[in-house]
A and B are shown apart, each in its own frame.
Chain A
Amino acid sequence: MARTVAQRGLTAALVGVPNSGKTSLFNALTGSSQKVGNYAGVTVEKVSGRTQGPDGPITIIDVPGLYSMRPVSADETVAAEVIVGRAGEARPDVLVCVVDATNLERNLYFLSQLSGAGIPTVVALTMVDVVQRDRNSLDVDRLAGELGVEVVPVVAHRGQGLLELKAAIGRAVEGRRLLDIDLGFPAAVREPVFRLHDRLARAGVDVTRSEVREALLDEGAALNDKLANLPEMVEAFVEERARLLGAHADGRTIDAQTRYAWAGRIRREVLATSGQLDRRTTDAIDRVLTHRVFGLVVFVGLMYLVFQSIYTLAAPLMDIIEAGVGAVKGWVSPMLAGAPLLQSAVVDGVLTGMGAVLVFLPQICILFALIAVLEGTGYLARAAFLMDRLLGWCGLSGRAFIPLLSSFACAVPGIMAARVMPDARSRLLTVLVAPLMSCSARLPVYVLLIGAFVEPVYGAWWAGAALFAMHFVGLAFAVPVVALLNRRVARGRRLPFVLELPRYQWPRVRDVVLTVVSRAKVFLTTAGTIILVMSIAIWALLSFPRSEAMEARYRADYRALAATQRGDVTEENYLQMRSTRDSYLGQFGRAIEPVFVPAGFDWRLTTAILAAFPAREVVVSAMGIIFDLGGEADEESPDLRQALKQATWPDGRPLVTVWTAASLMVFFALCAQCMATLAAIQRETGSWKWAAFAFGYMTLLAYVAAVAVYQLGSRLGAGG
């Protein structure tokens, strides 16, 4: 305890109602790029960063939003614990209560609950630009007078008020400025509180009046547990409670009423409204977007547009990256000409493998950008409103919509976003089906196969439609899965679904760009680590064993073949094919091949699938290496799409038909091949059991569905 505040700097926690602008302020203060979005529940964990205050560094903590100090969900618990201090962790030196000026009542209701915390407080008033735009004025000094602490208006995205806020943080600590508010509880409440507080003090129990009041009005309050060993005090509380509340009234109602009455009074005093704050634009937009019929039409249309534009917008960028990778290969290859084995490892292994995946960076960026735009506008809350009933039929809640939609970008943040769901059952179900949503790591597989087998035959529009359809495969399977799990696995009660529908906002370019950049970084790091390692491993397993004796045997075999059997296969090609087949990976793949033959996969596709166990996107790089080495041996590395089209079964039938492609896509749409997702499930459910369960059921589903597609398809469509 020797370290003083001055030595370690101050710690300030940004607390407040969901969607009040805490994270925007956090990013502006610390230069971070945490996710911001226009709906309640964007932030689900505690994050800290540093900023330079006038008298030294300040550590800023951003937490999830809270409606009250009585958390109902996992994310709210995180925030409440920061304020009340969890065992072993220091409480912040200052609370910066972020108050949304356009929603004063609800925000002040929350603020009123901080007055018992005993931590110096500063109010950061956000959305003042909106108040001004609507030509209203807000009396900041009066508000400060009512609250007893400093109130600093801020506009995070313009950097306004940040210096003032940091200075106010310092002053609050120095002067120990605590909230000083008079909620105006009626005498009928104040008197018994006074009596009980007095008795407790005489009994040697040191508590504040507000704690006593809380315990009086709510039997569930923390103080009641502490008194369990003082039976006469417990009795005193029961008596006073009975006298105050009579038979019907509810203590929590009295509490909420008093606080809201206080908040309403302050709002009327400080906000000189000409009328109400302007919601006309939002209402006009909502007339269409949450319309009974058009709302759903727009929703489906919007989703279609998202996937169509992923497919069409990315094409030119992909060509550029492809050309770039080709150029690098052409540049590196001659430099290593002296060491053929190293040359092959670098060019055919690393560069081919990583290049095959890098090509899909544009798609992934576009998907993340579009989702970030949707998140920034406030549309997601509307979509949840539209979908609640539908999701309810499947046994989920409307609150599951947002985690599931963000799983279309990546299941890991999606699984974490399920923290906002108050009841454990819905949350578990959401976590278990979130990986079925088609994440961006599946895009490469779809785009590759659709590009090779659908687009050339049916054209770009059908290709876009196929991509859209692939994103529904997981969703379609999620419905029966939830229905089944709902009965068998998860139990618990349903909790209320109360969601605020925020005013629409223009998404901020900076927020969208930061989201895309940070996701692109994640993608590139995965590509740089897992895919690099897997590429080298696959190349090695495919290139060994090799020996002069084996090569001589292959040559002899080739010469022994009759000219008709040779066809137009050259000796080099034959050699290449034989050594690939006899490599470690080839032997292994052929051993397992029978399992996947019903789904239409030969040993090459099978090994590519198995290699993609740690991360789905590896499958494309694995196919790149396997088909490149085993296929055309000419120097210009053939496009993977070309290679797939030319690949054949040993009897000469084409390996990949439309139905093999469909079966492969369905397999990837449903399988759980992603370590990061399984680890997230383990973290969020606290047990490997659920991670193993998710892996098991998804793999089974993927296999069965892939076999069904291939078998049915090739029978009905005869190769389409």
Chain B
Amino acid sequence: MDSKPIAGLGRPPRGARYRVLGVRDGRVCPERLLEMGMIPGAEFTVTKVAPLGDPIEVDLGGSRLCLRRSEAADLTFERVG
């Protein structure tokens, strides 16, 4: 898969796997995301997309989190699967 850094998740397809790279320049990552384990190096899979395209459900180390795409926009990711 391409491993170019991407900013935010865009419209992630179900089943896609991402790795968190870091916080985008000039942005401040919502602290809650860090505290819930969305830290650089963490990998997660998109398991569900809500009916209206947002929020999404991800599997992060065995636990499921629901997050809004707009909140992931402050992070950079790479697609790993």
Task: Please give the residue numbers on chain A whose beta carbons come within 8 Å of chain B beta carbons, in ascending order.
Answer: 67-68, 70, 72, 103, 105-106, 109, 248, 250, 252-253, 256-257, 260, 264, 276-277, 279, 283, 286, 290, 292-293, 295-296, 381, 384-386, 388-390, 392, 398, 422, 495-501
Q: How far is the CA of A496 from the CA of B67 in the complex (A)?
A: 8
Interface set, chain B 22-37, CB cutoff 8 A to A: 22-23, 25, 28-37
- List 18 interface pairs A-B (beta carbons < 8 Å), by A numbering: A67-B35, A68-B31, A70-B35, A105-B37, A105-B63, A250-B23, A250-B29, A252-B31, A264-B61, A279-B62, A279-B64, A286-B48, A290-B50, A389-B51, A496-B33, A496-B67, A498-B32, A498-B36
Residues of A within 8 A of B22 (CB): 248, 253
Could you say which residues of chain B place their CB within 8 Å of the CB of A385? Answer: 48, 50, 55, 57, 66
Nearest Cβ on chain A to B51's Cβ, whole angstroms = 5
Q: Shortest distance in angstroms between A67's beta carbon and chain B's nearest beta carbon?
A: 5
Min C-beta distance of A211 to chain B, whole Å: 19
Closest CB-CB distance, A265 to chain B, in whole Å? Answer: 13
Once A253-B29, A257-B40 are accepted as A-B contacts, the answer to whether A497 and B34 lie under 8 Å apart by CB is: no
- Residues on the B chain within 8 Å of A70, using CB: 31, 35
Interchain CB contact under 8 A, A290 and B62: no
B35 interface neighbour in A68, A290, A497, Cβ under 8 Å:
A68
A-chain residues with CB within 8 Å of residue B7 when the two chains form the complex: none
Establish whether residues B39 and A256, one from each chain, have CB atoms under 8 Å apart when the complex forms. Answer: yes
Q: How far is the CA of A500 from the CA of B48 in the complex (A)?
A: 13
Judge whether A253 and B40 touch: CB under 8 Å: yes
Across the interface, do B66 and A109 meet the contact criterion of CB distance under 8 Å? no
B7-45 interface code vs A (CB 8 A; 1 in, 0 out): 000000000000000110100111111111101111000
Q: Distance (Å) between the CB of B73 and the closest chain A CB?
A: 11
Partner of B32, one of A72, A257, A388: A72
B22, B30, B51, B67 interface centre (most CB from chain A within 10 Å): B51
Q: Are the CB atoms of A292 and B51 closer together than 8 Å?
A: yes
Residues of chain B with a CB closer than 8 A to A495's CB: 30, 32
Contact A109 B35 (CB under 8 A): yes
Query: Shortest CB–CB separation between residue A402 and chain B, in angstroms?
Result: 13
B32 vs chain A, min Cβ distance (A): 5
B interface residues, Cβ below 8 angstroms from A: 22-23, 25, 28-37, 39-42, 47-55, 57, 61-68, 71
Distance to closest chain A CB from B80 (angstroms): 18
Contact between chains at B62 and A388 (CB < 8 Å)? no
Question: Which residues of chain B come closer than 8 Å to A295, judged between CB atoms?
Answer: 51
Q: In the complex, A496 Cα to B68 Cα: how many Å?
A: 8
Query: Residue of B at shortest CB range from A250?
Result: B23
Shortest beta-carbon distance, A66 to chain B, in Å? 10
A496 touches B30 (CB 8 A): yes
The 7 closest A-B pairs by CB, nearest first: A389-B52, A501-B64, A496-B30, A256-B34, A499-B66, A68-B35, A385-B66
Which chain A residues border B35 with CB–CB below 8 Å?
67-68, 70, 109, 256
A248 adjacent to B31 (CB under 8 Å): no
Contact call A106/B63, Cβ cutoff below 8 A: yes
A106 to B65, CA, bound (A): 12
Contacts of B36 in A (CB 8 A): 67, 106, 498, 500
Output the nearest chain B residue to A100 by Cβ-Cβ distance. Answer: B63
Inter-subunit contact A388/B25 (CB<8 Å): no
Least Cβ distance of B41 to chain A in Å? 7
Residues of chain A contacted by B39 (CB below 8 angstroms): 253, 256-257, 260
Q: Which residue of A lies closest to B56 (CB)?
A: A385
Q: Complex formed: what's the CA distance from A390 to B55 in Å?
A: 11
List B contacts of A72 (CB < 8 A): 31-32
Q: Which residue of B lies closest to A247 (CB)?
A: B25
Query: Looking at B23, B28, B37, B54, which has the most chain A CB atoms within 10 Å of its CB?
Result: B37
Beyond known contacts A106-B63, A109-B35, A388-B66: 11 more, CB 8 A cutoff: A72-B32, A103-B62, A252-B34, A253-B34, A260-B37, A277-B62, A286-B48, A290-B48, A292-B50, A390-B52, A498-B67
Contacts of B57 in A (CB 8 A): 290, 385, 501
Residue of A nearest to B42 (CB): A260
Contact residues in A for B50 (Cβ distance below 8 Å): 290, 292, 385-386, 388-389
Q: Please, which residues of chain A bring their CB within 8 A of the CB of B54?
A: 388-389, 392
State how many angstroms separate the Cβ of B63 from the closest Cβ of chain A: 5
Residues of B within 8 A of A296 (CB): 51
CB distance from A79 to the nearest CB of B (A): 14
Structural contact, B29 and A389, CB atoms closer than 8 A = no
> A501–B55 Cα gap in the complex (Å)?
13
Residues from chain A with Cβ under 8 Å of B53 in the complex? 389
Which of A252, A264, A283, A500 contacts B63 (CB under 8 A)?
Answer: A500
Closest beta carbon of chain A to B75's beta carbon, Å: 10
Which of B25, B33, B49, B68 lies in contact with A248, CB distance below 8 A? Answer: B25
CA distance A290 to B66 in the complex (A): 12
In Å, the complex CA distance between A422 and B35 comes to 15
Assembled-state Cα–Cα distance A392/B70 (Å)? 12
A295 to B54, CA, bound (A): 14
Inter-chain CA distance A264–B37, complex, in Å, is 11
Shortest distance between the CB of A189 and any CB in chain B (Å): 15
